[in-house]
Copies of this chain bind each other. A is one copy, B any other.
């Protein structure tokens, strides 16, 4: 990948390269690039019909169980990509696109940090190319059509109390979690209880991220089940004759988005399902486009390995027929000490005993990666005051599980600070060993068994229990012909168990499935372990209050430390 003078100029002046130049690095033609604003573009799918240009090795970036300190998975992914490019590799990252909810809520923007960001960061964090809005529109058109059917008493016989389709909004808005709609008399439709999910949790988001073509998208949309009739038959989008209208709303959103790293190399940023309440990976089409055009594709699964990575492997890879060549597990010494029982405010201080206990969390995830037959590299997202002896402790324990440890300084030094990681990852990827997919469960098992296997193989639990209603729902789904799908676990991201208070490496526990939802369009069954919010709330002082507009019109404060 020769980016020549234009890249060096971009790095020197910190300006952005023309997006068509960035596209050329991926071997894309000018005609493939559909510009959105000055520095963003969508990529026409035509490139996929041309001969494959890249080796398409996939690196999955995952992490230990998240802590309040933050691990920097996206920052590490971007730094790693930039490091690989500096090594002369044809490398591209395929990341999730941010939701406005977190941007204006607790977390701020989702485009990496420091010197390892995808840019234009503000544009990506705000409306980007409109994908989230298109998904919201499709979700809510479907909801309006369902309530319209109820209002006019259509022939489908939908039971208003059995409508499971909820509305969506790309916003953290707790007041919409549980609502009563259809009030105000006959003109307001049929009163019923319902609610809103954040768009990243909508089944439409999952459908978009798993679709491999426009036809596949329309087919999946048509399969979505919106509720049941009075005699309990499932009602689909195809029953409502709505799939073409939803497809029309989503036709541009389906195309992968192109942006660039701060060092001017290409970055695909497309699809953004949350990993605790959805499947947590960027789109299949972006991954496949990246694999088609580049040698190494760096992608991530949200939250810890138990959530994003498990679903990446068992859902996305199985559906799309892909498999990673390497896994990166991101950790920080602070986070490991937090898992060892230290208070977050003290986690910056040396504490070998706490670290020794906390490394068990990392080991849990490395063992899971081994279970899946995957070779890992541990990326320590480094801080200036990290102690060498503590890093050596991590390296020793990781080595025992076959995983080299690399220091990652992408935040402070960009690609130059990610060379250690890039070299170790390249060494794993370039062994060119044959890939043998192995899953946590096979699809033909009963759902109860599949969930039990995830609990044992991925969480290290003794097994999974089902609440009576969850059990009944799963049996009904199997009777209705909806067996054979993978399971998308929705659970807390703060523990490998279903109890957010259990840090480190809990043992001797079981998990409990409290509720089950069918996502027939996405092609999975969602099993909720505990109370998992599908609509976040804003904190007492929302990030929205930090935003300011400079006199020249520049937006500040969308990212932390901005």
List the interface of chain A (C-beta within 8 A of B): 34-38, 42, 100, 104, 122, 126-127, 130, 133-134, 136-137, 140-141, 143-145, 147-148, 150-152, 167, 169-184, 187-190, 193, 195, 214, 218, 241-242, 244-245, 247-249, 251-252, 537-538, 540, 542, 544-545, 547-549, 553, 555, 557-558
Residues on the B chain within 8 Å of A553, using CB: 214, 251
Looking at A182, A190, A547, which has the most chain B CB atoms within 10 Å of its CB? A547
- The answer to whether A544 and B251 touch (CB under 8 A), given A34-B38, A38-B34, A148-B537, is no
Residues in chain B near residue A150, CB distance under 8 A: 175
Residues of the B chain whose Cβ atoms lie less than 8 Å from the Cβ of A241: 545
Q: How far is the CA of A145 from the CA of B104 in the complex (A)?
A: 10
In the complex, A170→B42 CA distance in Å?
24
Inter-chain contact A189/B169, CB cutoff 8 Å? no
9 closest Cβ contacts across the A-B interface?
A: A178-B184, A133-B133, A147-B175, A175-B189, A144-B173, A178-B183, A245-B544, A35-B35, A245-B547
Shortest beta-carbon distance from A258 to chain B in Å: 14
Q: Using known A-B contacts A140-B171, A174-B189, A180-B183, determine if residue A542 contacts B248 with beta carbons closer than 8 Å.
A: no
Interface centre among A148, A187, A195 (most CB of B within 10 A): A148
Q: A244-B549, A248-B558 are in contact. List 10 more A-B contacts (CB 8 A).
A: A35-B36, A126-B249, A127-B137, A130-B130, A130-B133, A144-B172, A174-B188, A178-B183, A214-B553, A218-B549
Closest Cβ–Cβ distance, residue A227 to chain B (whole Å): 14
Nearest-neighbour CB distance to chain B for A323, whole angstroms, equals 30
Q: Are the C-beta atoms of B144 and A171 separated by less than 8 Å?
A: yes
Q: In the complex, what's the smallest C-beta–C-beta distance from A43 to chain B, in angstroms?
A: 13
Q: How many angstroms from the CA of A181 to the CA of B130 in the assembled complex?
A: 27
Contact call B37/A148, Cβ cutoff below 8 A: no
Shortest CB distance A21–B (Å): 15
Copies of this chain, complex-wide, total: 2
Complex contacts, A140 vs chain B, CB 8 Å: 169, 171, 173
Cα separation A218 to B42 with both chains bound (whole Å): 30
Query: B37 and A37: CB pair below 8 A?
Result: no
Does B180 contact A100, Cβ atoms closer than 8 Å?
A: no
Residue in chain B with minimal CB distance to A180: B180
Instruction: For the complex, give the distance between the alpha carbons of A98 and B343 in Å.
Output: 54
List residues of chain B with CB within 8 A of the CB of A170.
137
Q: Are B176 and A181 in contact (CB under 8 A)?
A: yes
Is there an interface contact between B181 and A545, defined as CB atoms closer than 8 Å? Answer: no
Closest CB of chain B to A148's CB: distance in Å?
Answer: 4
Contacts of A134 in B (CB 8 A): 127
Chain B residues lying within 8 Å of A143, measured Cβ to Cβ, are 173
> Cα distance A126–B138 when bound, in Å?
11
Q: Are A242 and B545 in contact (CB under 8 A)?
A: yes
Tell me the bound Cα distance from A36 to B129 in angstroms. Answer: 9
Q: Give the residues in chain B near A34, CB-CB below 8 Å.
A: 37-38
Docked Cα-Cα span, A558 to B245, in Å, equals 9
Contact indicator A555/B175 (Cβ below 8 Å): no
Q: Which of B104, B177, B252 contacts A187 (CB 8 A)?
A: B177
Chain B residue nearest in CB terms to A533? B187
A127-B130, A214-B553 known; A141-B177 Cβ under 8 A: no
Inter-chain contact B100/A137, CB cutoff 8 Å: yes
Chain B residues in 8 Å Cβ range of A190: 175
Residues of B within 8 A of A171 (CB): 137, 140-141, 144
Do the beta carbons of A127 and B252 come within 8 Å of each other?
yes
Question: A478 to nearest B CB, angstroms?
Answer: 30
Chain B's nearest CB lies how many Å from the CB of A70?
Answer: 22
Q: Is A540's CB under 8 angstroms from B152's CB?
A: yes
Residues of B contacting A545 with CB < 8 Å?
241-242, 245
Give the interface centre of A35, A248, A553 by most chain B CB atoms within 10 Å: A248
Q: Which residues of B contact A169 (CB under 8 A)?
A: 140
Cross-interface CB contact of A245 among B37, B104, B178, B247, cutoff 8 Å: B104
Q: Which chain B residues lie closer than 8 Å to A35 at the CB level?
A: 35-38
Q: How far is the CA of A341 from the CA of B356 in the complex (A)?
A: 89
Check if B179 sits within 8 Å of A180, measured CB to CB. Answer: yes
A190 to B177, CA, bound (A): 12
Among A147, A245, A545: residue with most chain B CB under 10 A: A245
Chain B min CB distance to A6 (Å) = 18
Cross-chain pairs A/B with CB under 8 angstroms, 11 sampled:
A100-B141, A144-B173, A147-B174, A148-B542, A150-B175, A151-B537, A180-B180, A180-B183, A242-B545, A245-B544, A245-B545
Query: In the complex, are the beta carbons of B547 and A244 less than 8 A apart?
Result: yes
The answer to whether B175 and A549 touch across the interface, beta carbons within 8 angstroms, is no
Residues of B within 8 A of A174 (CB): 147-148, 151, 187-189
The answer to whether B538 and A144 touch across the interface, beta carbons within 8 angstroms, is yes
Chain B residues positioned under 8 Å from A36 (CB to CB): 35-37
Chain B residues lying within 8 Å of A177, measured Cβ to Cβ, are 183-184, 187-188
Distance in angstroms from A28 CB to nearest chain B CB is: 15
Task: Please give, as numbers and ranges, the residues of chain B lying within 8 Å of A547 by CB-CB distance.
Answer: 244-245, 248
With contacts A244-B548, A544-B245 taken as known, whether A151 is within 8 angstroms of B175 at the C-beta atoms is yes
- A251 and B555 within 8 A (CB): yes
